[in-house]
Structure 1
């Protein structure tokens, strides 16, 4: 055996193997980045939840400012009822009679009024935040603006719903109190019965339909319009709102949508103006 044969032979790749970066480094960096992104998302979600929670608390407190104004609210209710008759709007009692022919239909509309409003709104907010966050700020602002304007009207114009007006005048009954369930039967002061105008049941249902139609691109998205249509029929048939309440609620949502649209356009112009100015300066210097 020669001296050369006695020398151990090193693997040809051993010199370069140590110089290569470990395979775990990029994944560790990516994991840290994903962790920071998740924390940022969780923090933003928490702040948005607190913001909307504060809005709900302010709205709930503000509605109860009109407690003790029952006589004024009833007077306003009679005035609204008479105004609708002068305008020859459809009779709410005729709508209710269509439902009262079926006990199951009556229970169904009561359940819809009692159980759909808040869960539908929460489901919409979660869906937008998780799947379509690009439109989240505008949806949030529309809800805040529309709800804030509604609260001002609730305070300035307390209004008893038609179910609390004399039956001899309206021909309406309180379907929730008679057949159940009713959100006003618990006696916990959670809901103010004298804040009928505007109807946020209808207002929020319109917001939900607007969001779905705006975000999605399928032809089926227009089925979302059934939500405010069904809600309008329910709040009228249960005698919780007048037609006018729905009209005012819809107008508030329309105003909120237009305000946020103008604000969005102004923000886009503010961002684009410096870019256009720099491009003009560059072209002028050539």
Structure 2
């Protein structure tokens, strides 16, 4: 074995962890550990909805801030909500599909992805959960300080397709825990993006990676086409998700010492 072989192995381990956010030497958590990890996320989500319901701000402030968002989009040539919805709003088959994506492509997808990560890729789960906690906390601060009425409430001529054509949304997210003025940033976009980043980090299976990208791209389009978010809301949600993803990377525990020590002595 050459003198540089230990360092080659060490570099390979570090590169693998950086790309995949995993360590092959990290054991999967036992039943108690899995319950504890999943319990933290469940408690955080319940707390998020509870606090979000309490931060339902005044209509006047939400409409005023929505007007500011609309003006900013006009100046940036991003005021696409009404023209885009006009292309699909009269096609009930299309709007039905969009409603399904908005409703069933969010929380069910998040729950299934986190369960899969917890059982198969615990380090990526830890990073995804940490990113959700970070972005959720930041989102609550913005919701309270800068309430924004969504296009369905503030933009003339826009149709709330989800509320008018579906009742399933209120089952998954009861009105008591819904802040209708929490449009900016869009955590529908942000948290779906986090699930996509987690899946891309956890697997090399092409079909899973393509599905993950398709899910987040479809949600990006859906939140605008259903009049639930402005384009700037979606962009802000994506930025917040990326910030949370990279912040969680530095907060997560690293289990590399064993792998480095096993690769050979240092000089």
Kindly state the Cα deviation for residue 182 of structure 1 after the two structures are TM-superposed: 6.6
Distance in 2 between residues matched to 1:180 and 1:219, nearest whole Å = 33
**Could you tell me the TM-score, scaled by structure 2's length?**
0.79
Distance in 2 between residues matched to 1:201 and 1:68, nearest whole Å = 20
* Runs of at least 5 residues in structure 2 that lack an aligned partner in the other structure: 1-26
Aligned to 1:175: 161
Kindly state the Cα deviation for residue 219 of structure 1 after the two structures are TM-superposed: 3.5
Distance in 1 between residues matched to 2:234 and 2:91, nearest whole Å = 25
Q: Are 1:45 and 2:34 an aligned pair? A: yes
Is the Cα contact below 8 Å between 1:110 and 1:182 reproduced in 2? Answer: no
Distance in 2 between residues matched to 1:255 and 1:202, nearest whole Å = 14
Distance in 1 between residues matched to 2:152 and 2:203, nearest whole Å = 38
* Runs of at least 5 residues in structure 1 that lack an aligned partner in the other structure: 1-36
SS at match of 1:149: helix
Counterparts of 1:80-159 in structure 2, within 5 Å, are 80-159=69-148
Q: Which has the larger radius of gyration?
A: 1
Aligned to 1:23: none
Residue deviations 1:101-120 (CA, integer Å, cap 9, x gap):
31111122122212321100
User: What CA RMSD, in Å, does the superposition of the two structures yield over aligned residues?
Assistant: 2.9
Greater shift, 185-194 or 126-135, is seen at 185-194
Distance in 1 between residues matched to 2:175 and 2:155, nearest whole Å = 24
Distance in 2 between residues matched to 1:75 and 1:151, nearest whole Å = 19
Aligned to 1:55: 44
**Could you tell me the TM-score, scaled by structure 1's length?**
0.74
Residue deviations 1:183-221 (CA, integer Å, cap 9, x gap):
369974231111011111111111111111111113342
Is the Cα contact below 8 Å between 1:110 and 1:181 reproduced in 2? Answer: no
Aligned length: 237
User: Cα distance 1:253–1:113, how it changes in 2: closer, same or farther (>3 A)?
Assistant: same
Aligned to 1:233: 221
Distance in 2 between residues matched to 1:174 and 1:67, nearest whole Å = 19
